[in-house]
Amino acid sequence: MTETPFPTSFLWGSATAAFQIEGAHDQDGRTPSIWDTFARVPGAVLDGDTGDVACDHYHRVEEDVDLMASLNLDAYRFSTSWARVRPDGGEPNQRGVDFYARLVDTLLDRGITPWVTLYHWDLPQVLEDAGGWTNRDTAHRFADYALTLHDALGDRVPYWTTLNEPWCSAFLGYTGGQHAPGRQEGVAGLVAAHHLMLGHGLVVDELRRRGVDGREGGQVGITLNLTVPEPFDPTEPADVSASHRVEHLFNRVFLDPILRGSYAEEIHELTEGLCWRGHPWQSAIRDGDLALIGAPIDVLGVNYYHGDAASGRPHRDADLLGSRIRHPSRETTSPYPGGEAITFPRRGLPVTGLDWEVQPEGLTDLLVALNDDYDLPAVYVTENGAAYPDVVADDGTVDDPERLAFVAGHLRAVHAAIEKGVDVRGYFVWSLLDNFEWAYGYDQRFGIVHVDYETQQRTPKSSALWYSRVAAEGIL
């Protein structure tokens, strides 16, 4: 295949999340997050797995950063634990702050750029007990937490992401119940989504005041998981309608407020009459909110794993019962408030271990459509990867040709988007390590590095060795 060179400044990285890898769930002052609590609910996580130990990264920072350096990573995108930095949502915990300071210093010593994500779903349980993201005050507590980390790391961290995939936090957490805190309260997801974005806006505003200016002072942005929805059957009006609902209540419910400072009129039409605790959900939107939320950002992170074939009809065909929004072992509801929209793998496409179809051209389509529809800041693909049932050979090696092909195909899709004028400046493969995969526990492996959870031994898979070469040469 013809060699594909990327721009010399293109950033090659990998990504993780605190709850998924750190472990040390009750050490050095850390208190429970909503995921500690949710993982202990019967049926919430496959096999009753918890994140108590995970990859034990908390005790293995030096080893793991050395591993990153050996893989020629330019950058490492990691999240910080709110429950570690401000336990119970209260005062700063110096031991928790010191952990991240040590991680950042170790990365810099190895020539790896640290990229901080402030929130990857692990709200302190005490704040959830007070209403969580349906409580407006949580957005202000989020800003307090963010500034604690900026106080400690602002002189050394050039990239700050406020939220990772707020759609999951809001709609899987508060509407459908597939994720922590497991609430199935319909319209609550819309209220939570608005407060999440308000928290984002408050942090952007504060960091700007502190000199995060998009240049030498650092850059700030947000990461959204986005999809390419299509009707499962374009001739069925219910499927066309469901595709429209997914586009707006998955993509545009966040894109428009953040990039345009307003909710699309279609959002109000789709949610007309929906109330939260006796009031229209829009009562959560106060004067000045959208100005904060829509303030310019420096970076838009795009997470992409698959497109969506949407349907608004009940299906009896067993081949269609692979909805990607279902919970693996617990009864849940649709995460789309106000009406059903079910997403299925497309027939005829290969799928990953999670029944997510492999559709790299969808990433090109998504990036080009974003570029056509919005005035974008710099774009980074901040997550992309696949779960497959890896096998450890007798000699200890792990050959994962399907994952390698998945990443290669999506990198070609990124390159195609660049050639079409999209300002994509980097790519982060998900994930560096096999880890605690949320509701799937340890059943699904996304890592380019295999983790033996009994011994915590790390073994780079063939995809990692290949990605290391690509990152070093900048050529696919």
Q: Spell 349-366 as b/e; 16+ CB within 10 A means b.
A: eeebbbebbbbbebbbbb
Distance of CA 103 to the CA centre of its chain: 21
Angle between the N-to-C axes of helices 137-153 and 188-209, in degrees from 0 to 180, rounded to the nearest 10: 30
Please check whether residue 427 is in contact with residue 12, taking contact to mean a CB–CB distance below 8 angstroms: yes
CA 337 – CA 228 distance, rounded (Å): 19
Determine the number of helices (DSSP H) and then strands (DSSP E) in the chain.
Answer: 16, 15
On the CB side of 350, how many CA atoms lie within 13 Å of its CA? 12
Pairing label, strands 229-231, 275-276: unpaired
Buried b / exposed e along 67-100 (16+ C-beta atoms within 10 A):
bbbebbbbbbbbbbbbbbbbbbbeebbeebbebb
22, 230, 383, 402: the catalytic one is 383
171 phi and psi angles, rounded to 5 deg:
-90, -30
The residue from 22, 128, 165, 402 that is catalytic is 165
State phi, psi for 303 to the nearest 5 degrees.
-100, 130
Per the annotation, the verdict on 383 as an active-site residue is yes
Residues 6+ apart with CB under 8 A from 236: 311, 313
453: helix, strand or coil? coil
Residue with tokens 């007070």: 130
- The full DSSP string for 156-206 is T--EEEEEE-HHIIIIIIIII-SSTT----TTHHHHHHHHHHHHHHHHHHH
Torsions phi, psi of 450, nearest 5? -75, 140
Q: Which residue has the tokens 């997470």?
A: 303
Taking the C-alpha atoms of residue 191 and residue 214, their distance in angstroms, rounded to an integer, is 30
Angle at 206 between CA 200 and CA 211, to 5 degrees: 120
Closest CA to 203 of 114, 128, 132, 138: 138
Is 91 assigned a catalytic role? no
Q: Retrieve residue 105's tokens.
A: 């210093």
Strand partners, 124: 33
Question: Known catalytic residues?
Answer: 165, 383
